[in-house]
């Protein structure tokens, strides 16, 4: 809202890397919102996988709720 999206993403990714906050659903929700410009995860497999490649450098080292949500989205396309 204040035009500091990058700062917000940085703060949230640092928080989600902490063991005591890695399972915070509201932080994971907010990161998804920021990284997708409010659109949420794509329902298109190719779009989502390309997006994951693009955001991986920013989200490296984040486990917990973030990783769970990404893995759940990927699981939709497993055959």
The confidence score (pLDDT) of residue 6 equals 87
Model confidence, pTM: 0.88
pLDDT averages per 10-residue partition of the chain, 79 residues: 80 96 96 94 96 94 96 90
Q: What is the pLDDT of residue 5?
A: 84
Q: How many residues does the chain have?
A: 79
Q: For residue 61, which of 13, 23, 11 has the smallest C-alpha distance?
A: 13
pLDDT at 14: 96
pLDDT of residue 27: 97
């Amino acid at each position: 809202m204040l035009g500091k999206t990058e700062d917000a993403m940085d703060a949230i990714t640092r928080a989600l890397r902490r063991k005591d906050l890695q399972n915070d659903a509201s932080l994971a929700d907010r990161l998804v919102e920021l990284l997708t410009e409010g659109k949420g995860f794509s329902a298109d497999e190719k779009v989502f996988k390309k997006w994951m490649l693009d955001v991986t450098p920013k989200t490296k080292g984040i486990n917990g709720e973030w990783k769970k949500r990404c893995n759940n989205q990927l699981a939709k396309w497993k055959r």
